[in-house]
Amino acid sequence: KKYGLPNGTFLHCTRELKENPIISLMEAYGGKVGHTKDKEFISASYETWIGIRSDEPKRLNGKVDGKQFKCYPLAHEMYSDCGRSINLSCDKQDVLDFWEEMPFDLEIPEHQGNCVDCHKKSNKKLALVYKETPKVFNFTAYLDGQYSEVKAQVLDGKLIERKRFRGYKNTRELIASFDLSEHNPKDYTEESGGCSESCEAFMNSNEPESEMILSK
């Protein structure tokens, strides 16, 4: 209601559910992000260590501007601003090996990880999610109906609804595009650096959910 629907351009789910809570927690401990005071810029008082792996180079943001000193120790990227000297090179297999040694297993398939209906996931993974758990998209479609016009753009006097998914699709259009006959879970679980892993830490149906029918 306040920000409108999130999508690949409007990443307020990342901002409001991850980045701002992290910043608030650090402020509670006395830390400060880079900020301007009395017209003078003051750099961040702490380092932000992010667990992006060495096989995810496209997710690295090497910009160091003083607002946040972002370091990527698992990707062998430690900038001069970072005070520690820990440098690792960790890929997906290293992570899997680590969790293999743990005494528990959450048993969550890769395509079902993170936010299950995340717009960052590929359409193929979302199709597999829908095939296994179609009710997941009931609430997503409900949000479409309620909030697609919130913060929507106006072009040539016409309101352009905001849509969540790739290819400028809302939930019903996404589901209609699925070919549910072709998907095999094994096709997606070995993908390294894929969409199910890119949940970044930093930056018309009006029917009630219970009454919605999301069929092709």
With bands split at pLDDT 50, 70 and 90, how would you rate the model's confidence at 206? very low
The amino acid occupying position 122 is S
Of 172, 150, 145, 171, give the one whose Cα is nearest residue 160: 150
Would you say 172 and 161 are in contact if contact means Cβ atoms under 8 Å apart?
Answer: no
131 phi/psi in degrees, rounded to 5:
-65, -40
Q: Where is 130: in which H helix or E strand?
A: helix 123-132
pLDDT, position 208: 40
The amino acid occupying position 91 is D
Give pLDDT tens digits for 141-150: 999 999 999 9
Give pLDDT tens digits for 30-71: 999 988 889 998 888 988 888 888 888 877 765 666 788 888
Give pLDDT tens digits for 65-112: 678 888 888 887 555 455 555 567 889 999 999 999 999 999 999 899
Q: Where is 160: in which H helix or E strand?
A: strand 158-160
Please name the residues in contact with 163: beta carbons below 8 A apart, sequence gap of 6 or more. 5, 7, 144, 148, 169, 170, 173
Give pLDDT tens digits for 112-133: 998 999 999 999 999 999 999 9
Give the count of alpha carbons within 13 A of 20, CB side only: 7
User: Model pTM?
Assistant: 0.74
Would you say 76 and 88 are in contact if contact means Cβ atoms under 8 Å apart?
Answer: yes
pLDDT, position 49: 84
Taken in order 135, 126, 164, 10, the sign of the CA dihedral is positive
With bands split at pLDDT 50, 70 and 90, how would you rate the model's confidence at 203? low
The amino acid occupying position 46 is Y
Give pLDDT tens digits for 148-191: 999 999 999 999 999 999 999 999 999 999 987 765 655 555 45
* Residue-level length of the chain: 216
Pick from 132-136, 197-201, 202-206 the range whose average pLDDT is largest. 132-136
Helices (H), ranges, 62-195 = 92-100, 123-132, 136-147, 171-176
